Amino acid sequence: MNHIHTRQSPLDSRQLNAFVTLARTSSFTETARELFLTHSAISHSLSALENELGCRLLNRMGKRIELTAAGEAFLHHAQNGLNSFTQARQTVLEVKQWGCQRLKIGAGAALFQRLLALVLARLQRQLPNLLLTAKVVRPLEIATSLKTGELEIVLGAHPIHAPEIEFTFLFDAPLEIVVSSTHRWVAQGRPSAKELAKEPCLLADKSHPTRHLIDRYFAADNIVLNGIANIESLDVVKEMLRHGFGMSILPGWVVKDELESGILARFPPGRRRLRQSWGLLRLRGRPVTSTEQNLHLLCTEAAKSLQSVI
């Protein structure tokens, strides 16, 4: 059976504004006063919007109105649409005012601290009028943030099973067992498989790319780690390790200062190498801007400092 698809015209933002305001005030008179329009103009806008949608959005009850079920369902989308229009207008005004380029970027807390903060400071010096949005983002939020446009690019670990995301390599590092410098393994040497399986282990959540690599690595040796806590904050993990709480498996650049000061110690996880890659993530197929090209060059240079501690 053939289906005929007709192209729908976009909704009028003035009609949306009248509807959202009317839903809030429940009064044609108050809505007309607030929008500096006549009562008949508000009524005409609502009728035109209902005709466009093909359903009633409100019931008129004397001087007041009440939303229908369709009106209740439509209200949320109308509000989001108006908010998007406002945000788009503000972005254009800012670009027009400052003549600037824009960058919306995110990274995990550790990468933000160790790499991105320095890179953004250098990028700002290159592009004084850069309109910058930067935020700490969790691994589970990356794909959604890129798809919705909240972020344009993310500095993070190589994603697992994410074909819609394009990954540009910056650096890689070994993942190693990390313990307190007073841990018994420091004097004893690398632990056995049996000891590894018994030792309390602080691990990332199972959805985290790092956790995926760790679980796959030890599964190949029939080792199931004693993961007793899924802790998102690496600062909390490091603090617990400092106090002698079990072990964790971390990249060397995360614990650089603690290793150099002798607070923590590290061991290879086994005879095979366990490495992880980090880089720039963006939606596949999205054009790369000149600002992002500059960012890539600066990240590549700054990443050398992380490589030097690995």
Count of residues making up the chain: 310
Q: Does the pTM of the predicted model rise above 0.85? A: no
Residues pairing with 203 in the sheet: 230
pLDDT at 111: 94
What is the C-alpha separation between 132 and 275, in angstroms, rounded?
32
pLDDT at 128: 87
- Tell me the CATH number at 297: 3.40.190.290
**Do 229 and 306 reside in the same domain of the chain?**
yes
- Tell me the CATH number at 84: 1.10.10.10
**Cβ distance 234 to 109 under 8 Å?**
yes
What is the C-alpha separation between 205 and 153, in angstroms, rounded?
23
**Containing domain of residue 21, as a range?**
13-97
pLDDT at 287: 87
Task: Specify if 6 maps to a domain.
Answer: no
Q: Which two tokens stand for residue 293?
A: 């090209």
**Long-range contacts at 162-166 (CB < 8 A, ≥ 24 apart):** 163/284, 164/283, 164/284, 165/281, 165/282, 165/283, 165/284, 166/281, 166/282, 166/283, 166/284, 166/285, 166/286
CB atoms < 10 A from the CB of 12, how many?
13
pLDDT at 243: 93
pLDDT per residue rounded down to tens, the chain (310 residues): 444 445 567 889 999 999 999 999 988 889 999 999 998 999 899 999 999 999 999 998 777 788 999 999 999 899 988 888 877 777 666 555 555 678 999 999 999 999 999 999 999 999 888 889 999 999 889 999 999 989 999 999 999 888 999 999 999 999 999 999 999 999 988 888 999 999 999 998 888 899 999 999 999 999 999 988 778 788 899 999 999 999 999 999 999 999 999 999 999 999 999 999 999 999 998 888 889 999 999 999 999 887 655 5
**Do 81 and 205 reside in the same domain of the chain?**
no
pLDDT at 105: 96
Task: Specify if 1 maps to a domain.
Answer: no
Task: Specify if 8 maps to a domain.
Answer: no
pLDDT at 309: 53
Structural domains in the chain (count): 2
Task: Specify if 137 maps to a domain.
Answer: yes
264: nearest Cα among 286, 275, 249: 249
**Do 47 and 148 reside in the same domain of the chain?**
no
- Of the residues 42, 76, 97, which one is the last residue of a structural domain? 97
Task: Specify if 3 maps to a domain.
Answer: no
Task: Specify if 110 maps to a domain.
Answer: yes
**Do 49 and 198 reside in the same domain of the chain?**
no
CB atoms < 10 A from the CB of 111, how many?
24
**Do 155 and 271 reside in the same domain of the chain?**
yes
Q: Helices (H), strands (E): how many in the chain?
A: 13, 11
Task: Specify if 258 maps to a domain.
Answer: yes
What is the C-alpha separation between 261 and 282, in angstroms, rounded?
37
- Of the residues 45, 73, 97, which one is the last residue of a structural domain? 97
**Do 184 and 36 reside in the same domain of the chain?**
no
**Do 139 and 77 reside in the same domain of the chain?**
no
- Of the residues 66, 97, 128, which one is the last residue of a structural domain? 97
Q: Which two tokens stand for residue 91?
A: 């972005």
Cα atoms found within 13 Å of the Cα of residue 114, Cβ hemisphere only: 23
